[in-house]
Amino acid sequence: METAIAIYNKIRVLSKTDILNPQISELFIEIYRVCSEILQLYSRIPLVSKIPDKQYFVFQKEKRNSRAINVALFIDDSHEVEKIVGFIFRNQLDFTNPRDITKALYTMAISFCSVIDLFKNGDQKTPGTFFEYFISHWFALMLQIQPQVSIDVLNLDMRTSLPTDCIFDLGPNRPKIHLPVKTSTRERVIQVWAHQRVLDGVYGTGRFLGMLVCLAETKTDKTKLEVTEICLPDQWRLYQMFISQMYRVYYLDIPTKYVELNNIFPPINVKQFGDFFYEIKTLITRG
């Protein structure tokens, strides 16, 4: 457990100076190995799933449970995870596919979060920050660009700096990426559309492609050992119609109710995160 936290701290420090440092990729593999070994010591308790066609379990340590883990996405064999991730590192995407990448990255992310759940009661911040570094790393790798977390605002007599989620600036005459990252969204998600709206207003609509990345939307009832998904699709539709337009929403464990948003008005493109690796180059050249 101390080893996991130590590696996490190294990732934090290195990411701040150079997120493209290849050491960070290795540290993500290393932290996954450590967490995977820790989790093998604990038993798995199946949950009663209220979500159609999805099964979940939790790891249990005495009276503490981890967050819900999707059975179909969790890869038990750590060599398999490392093999898939290796294809990303070596830019051999043809050797794997979006579904397997989603599963491998889901397994890596949920393993670290679950270890924190088991050892640090009520700590939401560490999994959240870890997940931000984790997702930013894949974006940075694929785009070969360092992210920023604030941008200058010049507006007639006003000059200020706006703190933002991760921003990737692809250079002149190309779109920029606005990347909010959340382990889950709930009612706070309106902030994502509102930040996108401010960027649209300050820099012009279409200048920033808003890409939200989330881990999952599960909620576990600890006494009943039941798992549900908290989704607010109608509110997302109102936000997409009246606040701003998000360009993509990627999930590692994609909720069924949000998949449906792809097919109704207003269109919101909600996809599994593995798709990002295969479409990003097209998206940014098309703008």
Judged by CB under 8 A, does residue 265 bind a copy of itself? Answer: yes
Q: How far is the CB of 163 from a copy of itself (least distance, A)?
A: 8
Residue from 93, 238, 259, 284 binding a copy of itself (CB under 8 A): 238
The CA distance from 17 to 215, in Å, is: 25
Q: How far is the CB of 241 from a copy of itself (least distance, A)?
A: 7
Q: Which is nearer to a copy of itself, 40 or 191 (CB)?
A: 191
Residues 6+ away with beta carbon under 8 Å from 33: 78
What does DSSP say about strands 176-179 and 64-65: parallel, antiparallel, or unpaired?
unpaired
Residue from 40, 235, 256, 285 binding a copy of itself (CB under 8 A): 235
Sign, CA dihedral 198-200-203-207, equals: positive
What does DSSP say about strands 69-70 and 248-251: parallel, antiparallel, or unpaired?
unpaired
> By rule CB under 8 A, what string of x and - marks binding of each residue 178-197 to a copy of itself?
----------x-xx-xxx-x
> By rule CB under 8 A, what string of x and - marks binding of each residue 205-234 to a copy of itself?
-----------------------------x
Judged by CB under 8 A, does residue 155 bind a copy of itself? Answer: yes
Place of tokens 């881990």: 215
Place of tokens 């930040």: 195
Judged by CB under 8 A, does residue 242 bind a copy of itself? Answer: yes
Query: Is residue 184 exposed (0-12), middle (13-18) or buried (19+ Cβ within 10 Å)?
Result: buried
Q: How far is the CB of 174 from a copy of itself (least distance, A)?
A: 23
Stretch that binds a copy of itself, among 56-64, 109-117, 159-167, 254-262 (CB under 8 A): 159-167
The CA distance from 276 to 283, in Å, is: 9
The CA distance from 96 to 84, in Å, is: 7
Residues in contact with a copy of itself by the rule CB under 8 A: 153, 155, 157-158, 160, 162-163, 188, 190-191, 193-195, 197-198, 200-202, 234-235, 237-239, 241-243, 265
